[in-house]
């Protein structure tokens, strides 16, 4: 064997005296392996599970069917006949890829129509579609920090989504965190910057992804105005579900709204909505808009169909709201800590990662799919089951879930103690 390269170690796997595998470990692989082993020891190692097929209500894994309570398909649109049809029509007509970025040949009449109609729907001057919510957050926040008058102070909620933190890191802004949803603390943070030159950017979520609770939007707007700060709101979990016709919560309050098509809209991709000046500026300055291939036809088709449907889904939204209120009420009655949720995201906070894993396992045995969320995604000692409801869940699905949870609480009360 001829081994090239520095510090390469050879790892052979031999079964029944037959050589099955040769792995070359270089110093980087050693580093990766050590980090993984540490995660394993801490009990936080993540692993991918291949899913056969998943809808908002049902999930099939390795041939086994489960009721799905871990999907973000909050309105059950990802299998809606109109989304399927429009998506297929677009593929047949325009192909599977858009093959260029927006400023080259990737800006089709379909992108244009979606953005115009979306802005009308949201009540903003303009809107732009992006590749994904994660990508939009990172790209746009970095762009704002890089270009606004310096220094740029980025004031963020402690529990903001990872992509919002990454945007701050990518732009190398001065990040200052305030305690979760604590407007007094935010005010203190802003007061401490009062006499300083530069720009202030407040970044938070409307409905928080892991807790389902809501930001104090009126206070955020007031504080942003008083301190001449720009208010960036991530509406990923409110869009489609909350607001008069599913417009979400952010457009009324934010200078910039980020919303996703990947959750209640049943599709993929994201949008930025706000003033025309802001959107035109992003087209000119935002690398994450300029230097990436535009959304493909299949995705455009389903977004366009969703956009038509969204104003007509009041009944589904009202049903979903009634369901989450009911589920939260029942769980609270049984002493489960569901935090301050006011949405379809209901955390069952159990404290230790082991308890969360064990409950997930036991619910799986009852054909229920409710995924655990552990640190570092959530703070230490706040591991939870993140229960998400969809308008497509029927009452019998929800009763079945509650029944099984209730039995488990009685059988194993110690698993549910929140620290």
Q: Which residues bind ligand PMP (CB under 6 A)?
A: 132-134, 137, 161, 163, 205, 209, 234, 236, 260, 262, 270
Catalytic residue status for 337: no
DSSP secondary structure string for all residues of 110-151: HHHHHHHHHHHHHT-SEEEEES-HHHHHHHHHHHHHHHSSSS
Catalytic residue among 205, 213, 235, 316: 205
Q: Closest CB to ligand PMP among 60 and 135?
A: 135
Angstrom distance (rounded) from CA 314 to CA 86? 22
Output the smallest distance, CB 133 to ligand PMP, in A: 2
Identify the active-site residue in 78, 209, 302, 306.
209
Strand order from edge to edge, sheet including 58-61? 53-54, 58-61, 64-68, 368-369
Least gap, CB of 271 to ligand PMP (angstroms) = 10
User: 236 or 299, CB closer to ligand PMP?
Assistant: 236
Catalytic residue among 111, 263, 393, 404: 263
Other beta carbons less than 10 A from residue 103's beta carbon: 13
User: Are residues 176 and 189 in contact, defined by beta-carbon separation less than 8 angstroms?
Assistant: yes
In contact, 52 and 62? CB cutoff 8 Å: yes
Number of alpha helices (DSSP H) and beta strands (DSSP E) in the chain? 13, 16
CB of 341 to ligand PMP, least distance (A): 14
Nearest residue to the partner ligand PMP, using Cβ: 133
In the complex, what is the shortest distance from the CB of residue 139 to ligand PMP, in angstroms, rounded to a whole number?
A: 11
300 among known catalytic residues: no
Q: Which helix (H) or strand (E) holds 273?
A: strand 270-274
Shortest separation between residue 185's beta carbon and ligand PMP, angstroms: 20
Q: How far is the CB of 170 from ligand PMP (least distance, A)?
A: 15
Choice between 212 and 397, CB closer to ligand PMP? 212
270-302 in b/e burial notation, b at 16+ Cβ within 10 A? Answer: bbbbbeeebbeebeeebebbbeeebbbbbbbbb
Which tokens belong to 327?
Answer: 């589920």
- Among candidate residues 115, 211, 213, 234, the one labeled active-site is 234
For the question of residue 184 being annotated catalytic, the response is: no
Q: Is 72 a catalytic residue?
A: yes
Catalytic residue among 72, 160, 300, 355: 72
Q: Which is nearer to ligand PMP, 167 or 351 (CB)?
A: 167
Q: Closer to ligand PMP by CB, 134 or 178: give it.
A: 134
Using the minimum distance from each CB to ligand PMP, give the nearer residue, 299 or 405.
299
Catalytic residue chosen out of the listed positions 237, 328, 393, 404: 237
Q: Does 107 qualify as catalytic in the annotation?
A: no
- C-alpha to C-alpha distance for 244 and 109, rounded to whole angstroms: 28
Residue 108, CA distances (Å) to 43, 94, 190, 280, 292 in order: 47, 10, 42, 17, 15
Residues tagged active-site: 72, 161, 205, 209, 234, 237, 263
């Amino acid at each position: 064997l001829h081994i090239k390269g520095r510090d390469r170690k050879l790892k052979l796997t031999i079964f029944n005296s037959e050589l099955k595998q040769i792995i070359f470990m270089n110093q980087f692989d050693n580093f990766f392996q050590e980090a993984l082993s540490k995660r394993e020891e801490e009990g936080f190692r993540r692993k991918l599970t291949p899913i056969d097929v998943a809808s908002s209500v049902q999930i099939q894994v390795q041939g086994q069917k489960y009721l799905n309570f871990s999907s973000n398909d909050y309105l059950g649109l990802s299998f809606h006949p109109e989304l399927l049809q429009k998506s297929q029509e677009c593929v047949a007509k325009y192909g599977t890829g858009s093959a260029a970025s927006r400023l080259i040949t990737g800006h089709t009449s379909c992108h244009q129509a979606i953005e115009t109609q979306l802005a009308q729907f949201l009540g903003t001057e303009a809107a732009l579609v992006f590749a994904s919510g994660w990508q939009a957050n990172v790209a746009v926040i970095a762009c704002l920090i890089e270009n606004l008058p310096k220094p740029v102070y980025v004031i963020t909620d402690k529990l903001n989504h990872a992509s919002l933190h990454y945007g701050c890191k990518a732009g190398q802004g001065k990040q200052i965190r305030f305690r979760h949803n604590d407007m007094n603390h935010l005010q203190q943070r802003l007061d401490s910057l009062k006499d300083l030159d530069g720009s202030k950017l407040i970044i938070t979520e409307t409905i928080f992804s892991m807790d389902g609770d809501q930001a104090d939007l009126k206070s955020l707007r007031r504080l942003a105005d008083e301190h001449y700060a720009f208010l960036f709101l991530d509406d990923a979990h409110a869009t489609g579900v909350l607001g008069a016709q599913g417009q979400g919560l952010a457009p009324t309050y934010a200078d910039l709204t980020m919303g996703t098509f990947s959750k209640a809209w049943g599709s993929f991709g994201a949008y930025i909505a706000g003033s025309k000046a802001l959107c035109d500026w992003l087209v000119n300055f935002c690398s994450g808009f300029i230097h990436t291939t535009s959304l493909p036809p299949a995705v455009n088709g389903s977004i366009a169909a969703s956009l038509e449907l969204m104003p007509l889904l009041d009944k589904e939204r009202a049903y979903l709201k009634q369901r989450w209120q009911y589920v939260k009420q029942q769980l609270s009655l049984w002493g489960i800590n569901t935090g301050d949720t006011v949405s379809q995201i209901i955390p069952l906070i159990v404290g230790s990662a082991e308890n969360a894993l064990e409950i997930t396992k036991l619910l799986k045995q009852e054909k229920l799919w409710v995924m655990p969320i552990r640190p570092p995604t959530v703070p230490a000692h706040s591991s939870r089951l993140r229960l998400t409801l969809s308008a497509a869940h029927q009452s019998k699905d929800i009763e079945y879930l509650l029944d099984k949870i209730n039995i488990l609480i009685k059988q194993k009360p110690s698993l549910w103690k929140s620290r």
